[in-house]
Amino acid sequence: MAYSKKVMDHYENPRNVGSFSNSDTNVGSGLVGAPACGDVMKLQIKVNNKGIIEDACFKTYGCGSAIASSSLVTEWVKGKSITEAASIKNTTIVEELELPPVKIHCSILAEDAIKAAIADYNSKKK
């Protein structure tokens, strides 16, 4: 199966690989796994006091499409409000990366990871 140019680009040059300290109350962390293949994705956001995501990073143990999906999402959420970021759909990731049907679950992993990171951030703020 051929990977699209965009997947290869994110795979070769992943954006925002890394991690933030989870003890920081402005950091939300999402850790999700794909039952279909066992891949694991960690996505973190750093939110300012206006509710804007100032920074994001990820670590993905998984296939090229999962790495590309998480890399893309960290780029997309920077500068967005947490509400905007929560509305990112896996179908938009599929379109952007031209993922084939067998790789759709990789994009769902990225949607789940950003949602989990936002939920974690919100729970810390309570």
Distance CA 21, CA 66 (A): 23
CB of 92 to ligand FES, least distance (A): 17
Q: Quick one: which segment of 9-17, 74-82, 85-93, 98-106 binds ligand FES (CB under 6 A)?
A: 98-106
Catalogue the active-site residues.
Answer: 37, 106
Burial environment of residue 13 by CB neighbours within 10 A (0 to 12, 13 to 18, 19 or more): exposed
What's phi and psi for 83, nearest 5 deg? Answer: -65, -45
DSSP 8-state secondary structure symbol assigned to residue 81: B
Task: Kindly calculate the radius of gyration of the chain based on its CA atoms and give it in whole angstroms.
Answer: 14
Residue with tokens 């959420």: 77
**36 forms part of the interface with ligand FES (CB under 6 A):** yes
**99 forms part of the interface with ligand FES (CB under 6 A):** no
**108 forms part of the interface with ligand FES (CB under 6 A):** no
**114 forms part of the interface with ligand FES (CB under 6 A):** no
* Residue numbers at the binding site for ligand FES (CB under 6 A): 34, 36-37, 39, 62-63, 65-66, 103, 105-106, 109
